[in-house]
Chain A
Amino acid sequence: MKHNRLSAWSAMAASLGFAWFLSSCAPPNSSTSSPSSPPATGKPRVALVMKSLANEFFLTMETGAKKHQAAHASEYELLANGIKDEQDVARQIELVEQMIAQKVDAIVIAPTDSKSLVTVCKKAQDAGIVVVNIDNKLDAGVLADKKVKFPFVGPDNRKGARKVGDYVAQKLKAGDAVAILEGAPNAFNGVQRKSGFEDAMKAAGLKIVSSQSAYWETDKASQVVSALVTEHPEIKAILCANDSMALGADAALRAAGKQGQVLVAGFDNISAAQQLLQEGKLLATADQHGDQLAVFGIEYALEMLQKKTTPDDRETPVDLITKK
């Protein structure tokens, strides 16, 4: 029967497809640094748990960590993992649990959510694993509530955004109107950057006529900015919490024939932003040196493993980047 054969085929293909689908949900990096690799003799194993590798920033972070490990191959082993989607908190918690089960010596983590990850990090610490918090600081209130402490290594996003905002303010005069494009509303670094922009605007006496989220995305940013410059033609500058949104703002201004009349600033210093800067379409952005961030975290973890002490938090630099 042709029909039966066909349905058997499709059932097989369906189950294969499903198995493939499940495997495709695995972290994008699991193949290069398999979590199931056997523990090596002596060398400490450091797990780096990042946010989305789909984000250029974390890819830079991972590349930096891998370079460092290659140069210090005799000192430690590195297991680098990221999640597929920055919003996928549950997946990141699972990753940390897997690392605990793997009995790694240290976990260096950039939490996707500053509250939800505290419990599982405490679990790791209770299991005798050294935990270092990088990039996005875990919530102080929850840490106090759980009576735990992890050293934090990372940039102060608020200060960084303040620097960008101050530079923009120099080009404007008191009373001028500006707008802010925020990141995803639940992202702590996004909230920090918004606060930093606000600090700078307040200090310079500039008027924020609108502050809206464009979810870090180019497309949404262009939509919001188009509407904003129509509704508030007096806007003199747009401060974006990341560079992808700055690209969208630039596109919207170009379409509205206002390129050059409205200043645009970003954050992150991605490669596309560097070109926009040179073309004068972007006034300023900020660089948090993602490639160094994970390295600092790893060095901290190794130091803690050796000296059995808990060092203080360490603030990493955020640099203002403008046209050369």
Chain B
Amino acid sequence: MSEASNQPAREAGRYHWRRVAGEYLGLLLALGLLVLVFSLLTRHFFSATTFYTIANQIPAAVLIATGMTLILIISAIDLSVGSVAGLCSAVLGVVMVQYKVAPLPAVGLAGLAGLACGIFNGLVSVRFGLPSFIVTLGMLEIARGGAHALTQSQTQYIGSAIEPIASLSVLGLSLPFLLAVVIVIAGQLVLTRTVFGRYMIAIGTNEEAVRLSGIDPRPVKVAVFAITGVLVALAAVIDTSRFQSANPNAGTGFELNAIAAVVIGGTSLMGGRGSVVSSFFGVLIMAVLNTGLAAVGAKDETKRLITGLVIVAAVIIDQYRHRFNRERATQQ
């Protein structure tokens, strides 16, 4: 890029923005296509209501996908996010319903539960050099067991005491949605603009090289798991508030939805490459798909077939986009 440095800063800036737009073009295209198809197939899909509904439904998924993106970038995986969400939700429900704890401290306790699970995942896999796959698979069982033990397998009905968290809104957008957007932006900035972010990418690309260059990757890895734990707890608090109840089975299967959304966003399962903003679009694509299929009233088997096909198609589009960008970059 020796030429670029000779050109005026304005040119370089324009190049940067073109590159950023190119980064999300494939995803925006896929998203636009889905919206178009569903708008043609239904009477009311293309409406402000639908978009507010989706915006207010996705915050929990966005937070979990943000954590999962960071996890995948360091070449790890976290299969426990769904169960940990269930556990945090159970903690929140039980302390509020059975111990009459006020909402704020109860939310704090739920956050601590998430943090503890995340730290456990990180410490155990780092200390014993275990693949995160198996450690978090263990946590998937531990946390779900804990959720059932705490609640005696009974859904805890909290009622309107927890409602304010999800119902506060600014211009029709809920507080959780705004929080999710802030966290996505913060996550992206940490990833691209901080030393910590650089370490994460480096660890995901070649952990041995990081170690040989005198940087201990272990604290970074534990921190990423801990951050994910807290994000999952936040997600659980948001959903519990939306449903005004804590179901010990809540969050079942979230891990796979999160992985799907993150991979649709182009984050590599092999580590070292990823974007929180792209994962946000991945979540949006999944949400538009779910809402659209429900609005159409598609049969259950049709829904599953289409969801699977869209996941695969989105990843293919993303692959092509990457190849196209790389070719353009080598030409310049």
Contacts and interface: CB of A to CB of B under 8 A. Distances in A.
Interface stretch (B6-14, B100-108, B259-267, B292-300): B292-300
4 closest A-B pairs by beta carbon, nearest first, are: A227-B294, A272-B157, A10-B129, A231-B295
Contacts of B154: 56, 59, 270-272
Contacts of A119: none
B153 A247 contact: no
Interface string A238-253: 0000011001101100
Interface in B142-193: 144-145, 148, 152-157, 159, 166-167
A219 interface: yes
Contacts of B319: none
Given A227-B295, A228-B294, 19 more contacts: A13-B130, A14-B130, A17-B138, A20-B138, A21-B141, A28-B145, A54-B249, A55-B249, A218-B243, A219-B243, A223-B290, A227-B291, A247-B243, A247-B245, A248-B243, A250-B244, A254-B167, A255-B166, A271-B155
A310 interface: no
Nearest to B298: A212
B53 A230 contact: yes
A219 B85 CA distance: 13
A255 B168 CA distance: 11
Contacts of B141: 21, 24
A175 interface: no
Interface string B220-253: 0000000000000000000100111101111110
B134 A21 contact: yes
Contacts of A223: 57, 290-291, 294
Nearest to A223: B290
A217 interface: yes
B53 A226 contact: yes
A54 B248 contact: yes
A290 to B, nearest CB: 12
Contacts of B250: 218-219
Contact of A17 (B49, B130, B157): B130
Nearest to B42: A231
Contact of B153 (A54, A231, A248, A251): A54
Which one of A6, A244, A272, A279 has the greatest number of beta carbons of chain B within 10 Å?
A272
B153 A59 contact: yes
B328 interface: no
Nearest to B48: A230
Contacts of B152: 59
Interface in B48-93: 49-50, 53, 56-57
19 contacts: A10-B128, A17-B138, A18-B134, A24-B145, A54-B148, A56-B155, A185-B301, A217-B249, A223-B291, A227-B294, A230-B53, A230-B295, A231-B294, A231-B297, A247-B244, A255-B56, A255-B57, A272-B155, A272-B157
Interface residues of A, number: 49
B49 A230 contact: yes
A222 B57 contact: yes
Residue from B166, B239, B247, B292 having most chain A Cβ neighbours under 10 A: B247
A230 B301 CA distance: 23
Nearest to A271: B154
Interface in A179-222: 185, 209-210, 212-213, 217-219, 222
A233 B50 CA distance: 12
Most buried by A among B134, B166, B290, B300: B300
Given A7-B129, A185-B300, A222-B242, A270 B155 contact: yes
Given A21-B137, A54-B148, A218-B247, A255 B130 contact: no
Contacts of B249: 54-55, 217, 244
A185 B298 CA distance: 14
B239 A275 contact: no
A20 B295 CA distance: 44
A224 interface: yes
B2 interface: no
A243 B154 CA distance: 12
Contacts of A21: 134, 137-138, 141
Contacts of B145: 24, 28
A54 B181 CA distance: 34
Interface string B95-124: 000000000000000000000000000000
B326 interface: no
Contacts of A251: 242-244
Contacts of A255: 53, 56-57, 166, 242
